[in-house]
Amino acid sequence: MLLVAGSGCLGSGSDEAVNETVTSFLTSFNEGDLDTAFSYYEGKDFLVPATLEIKFKNRDILVGSIEQFELKDTTVDGDVGYTTAVCEVTRFEKNKAAGTEQKLIYFRVQKVGALWTITKVNLDGPISASETLENVEVPATPLDPIINNIPLISGVTIAVLVLGVYLNKKDKSKGGAVTPVLDISTAVPVEKEALAQFIKFAPAPQYSAGSKAAVDVWVKNFSQQPYDNLTIIANFPGTVKVKKPALAFGSIGPGETVKKTWNVTPSIPGWVAIEEPMVVFEYAGARYSGQLDPIWLNVQ
């Protein structure tokens, strides 16, 4: 909340889009989510997410050290924008917090298709408008092959009619939650390999029997249109209690990343699987569904 409050008043149109991209980048970095921060970037400053952390650390900007920031001097010329993040950063002496200091981070953002992407980050000084721009191509999205081949695969939807009623396989008496009914009879099936490109399950490395813990689910929209009415459900075994087996993500806009969480309580030690995770969503006027691999929990 502090980061969002400190991001300043956003403008409108392109200025707002540039600021939102940079705000998402800085917020993700500060939360330690380097993969998400890196997803807003396309350039030569950072080759991998770990490089991002190293270069910021070399300027005494550590993960979690940005107490607040404000974006200033945002300018947009066509498909290129520039802004400066004025950050209040915790200063450390002998590994102990010793007040704050101001750090300036300079950004160049380019419009790629319908999205704005950071293409240069400078920690030393302003970025000149005369510098060569990055040649960034609009990336193919996981759904492109599906959209292009709808006439060929639409007939396959009949085959998934048997999955229209998607119920828990476990008896309620065993403690498992009953999965809601999910009608996918009119949905176009999507291969799990395509879904796995933008849906990630993040279970904890280890769970304790009898203790409540989280299984995070991340969805990243790489496309130029929203994912609407996106829902993910799964079959939970009788040894794993969950209050809400269905996660409703609602609408996820272009370039947006959304996280939802299953709060689970495993009851016995061992490896247990959350089976048949299924996603249903709408995209470009059509409805899609698909099933992903099981999610394994290490319960001690």
Number of H helices, E strands in the chain: 7, 14
CA distance 12 to 26: 20
Contact, 272 vs 292, CB < 8 A? no
Residue scoring higher pLDDT (7 or 40): 40
pLDDT for residue 179 is more than 60? no
The percentage of residues in the chain with a pLDDT greater than 70, rounded to a whole number, is 79
Q: What's the CA gap between 118 and 112, in Å, rounded?
A: 10
Model confidence over 187-202: pLDDT tens digits?
A: 888 888 888 889 999 9
Is 170 a residue whose pLDDT tops 80?
A: no
- pLDDT given for residue 147 in this prediction: 52
Q: Minimum mean pLDDT among 117-121, 170-174, 271-275: which range?
A: 170-174
Structure confidence at residue 139 as a pLDDT band (50, 70, 90): low
* 245-295: pLDDT as tens digits: 899 999 999 989 999 999 999 999 999 999 999 999 998 888 899 999 999
Q: Per residue in 147-166, pLDDT tens?
A: 555 544 444 444 444 444 34
pTM: 0.47
- Would the pLDDT of 138 be above 60? no
Which tokens sit at 90? 């915790």
Please say if the pLDDT value at position 127 is more than 50: yes
Tens-digit pLDDT profile for residues 10-62: 344 688 889 999 999 999 999 988 888 888 888 888 878 888 888 899 889 99
Name the least confident of 104-108, 120-124, 141-145: 141-145
| Cα 65 from Cα 63, distance rounded (Å) | 6
140 pLDDT higher than 80: no
* Cβ 209 vs Cβ 267: under 8 Å: yes
Average pLDDT over every residue of 80-96: 90
Q: Which residues of 165-191 are buried (b: 16+ CB within 10 A; e: fewer)?
A: ebebebeeeeebbebeebebeebbbbe
Contact 182, 131 (CB under 8 A): no
Q: In 3-state terms, what secondary structure has residue 219?
A: strand
Is the model's pLDDT at 97 over the cut of 70?
yes
Mean pLDDT rounded to a whole number for the chain: 81
What pLDDT, on a 0 to 100 scale, did the predictor assign at position 263? 93
280 in Cβ contact with 182 (< 8 Å): yes
Bigger pLDDT: 135 vs 34:
34
Tell me what pLDDT residue 284 has: 86
Distance CA 62, CA 58 (A): 9
What average pLDDT does the segment 143-150 reach?
A: 54
